[in-house]
Structure 1
């Protein structure tokens, strides 16, 4: 039973059309839960997020799902999920302060926490908005924000902005491309290509850092 549920969740993006035909309107609830759970719990980062929203938009273009219902579902799912993740971070900090030792952060790789902390310190509020476009950062940044007592008002506002941008980008890109037969007929291939876009932020960040270091080294030589 658990294996079947795991397979269902892992293949929700590639087999979404078949699941819609089999389960009907229940899939709206399932799609909401997947996006919510992926953003609310660090341990569920394996769930397909970007690709699920993209696939939903593609299928909505065929009339099997309502794109505006999906927009509201995904928008609120990611806001609620990230806010819960922020709250978990706050509770972990309080528990650690009270006991002096207890912390659920020990179950998360230290390197991941460090990367998220550095990402948040370096980019500030904008990190909350765009972290959902960066693999691993999308779930650890909200958690670290709560753990480091990042002001909730600022977090919530930038969280909502990020949720809006993220939902629009993936859902309506899928919806637009869903009207192209080649995309609709080869959804799996499209999703594989889409998955590589998650590397774009990392590539851009690496390029910017390389250019800065190169420019600094050039100035020193002069």
Structure 2
């Protein structure tokens, strides 16, 4: 039997998970306050590894399509999304750094993360270094795990911040501009949900390519 609090929490989670497909409704509902909501969504997604389920690419893309129709302001969206990604990743970095100082993998925040995703993030960071920080935003799970692992392993924050800013600028520019350009196409506007499904699927392409390359390397090593 669900309590009233459980039902309310479930409704809030569903609202947050589906905000990208319901943006037009929330614009009418909240007005200018929608910018605050969008900022917080991206910030919380990047700041806490346990909130990776929140929409990211698809929400920025959807915001771009609404900027194309004049419902949202492109420049305001660009600034707030870049700020949210940089601040969120920095928060995530310092959470990892604090846990690294404690040297405690038993901390509840560490236990709530996936050991597999953390392990992959460590390998990704070790193999590609600064490039990993910039490109991780385009790889599902890595985008939240890499900042956390960077802090946990004692990576220099100034270097992390510089390359994280570059990644945030590229990521925001790509998805927001793509949404803005395609938002002028009637079919995209009329089939936004289907378009967002394709966008969400496209985000997994880098991960699939990486998996295939890793599989080939293992196969060649065993040959």
TM-score, reference length from structure 2: 0.90
Q: Size of the alignment, in residue pairs?
A: 216
Distance in 1 (CA, whole Å) between partners of 2:28 and 2:196 is: 20
Cross-structure match for 1:173:
178
Distance in 1 (CA, whole Å) between partners of 2:106 and 2:44 is: 27
Alignment partner for residue 3 of structure 1, among 10, 13, 17? Answer: 10
Cross-structure match for 2:75:
68
Distance in 2 (CA, whole Å) between partners of 1:102 and 1:210 is: 33
Distance in 1 (CA, whole Å) between partners of 2:191 and 2:107 is: 49
Q: Cα 1:151–1:195, aligned 2, differ >3 Å: closer, same or farther?
A: same
Moved more, 192-201 or 206-215: 206-215
Which secondary structure does the structure 2 equivalent of 1:24 belong to?
helix
Cross-structure match for 1:93:
100
Superposed displacement of residue 2, structure 1 = 2.3
Alignment partner for residue 50 of structure 2, among 25, 43, 47? Answer: 43
Q: RMSD across aligned C-alpha pairs, in angstroms? A: 1.9
1:20 aligned to 2:27? yes
2:17–2:54 contact (8 Å) kept in structure 1: yes
Q: Which runs of 5+ in 2 are unaligned?
A: 1-7
Distance in 2 (CA, whole Å) between partners of 1:3 and 1:207 is: 37
Which secondary structure does the structure 2 equivalent of 1:64 belong to?
coil
Cross-structure match for 1:77:
84
Distance in 1 (CA, whole Å) between partners of 2:107 and 2:144 is: 21
Superposed displacement of residue 207, structure 1 = 3.8
Q: Cα 1:193–1:117, aligned 2, differ >3 Å: closer, same or farther?
A: same
Cross-structure match for 2:164:
159
Superposed displacement of residue 192, structure 1 = 0.5
Moved more, 158-167 or 148-157: 148-157
Superposed displacement of residue 210, structure 1 = 5.0
What does residue range 199-210 of structure 1 map to in structure 2 within 5 Å?
199-210=204-215
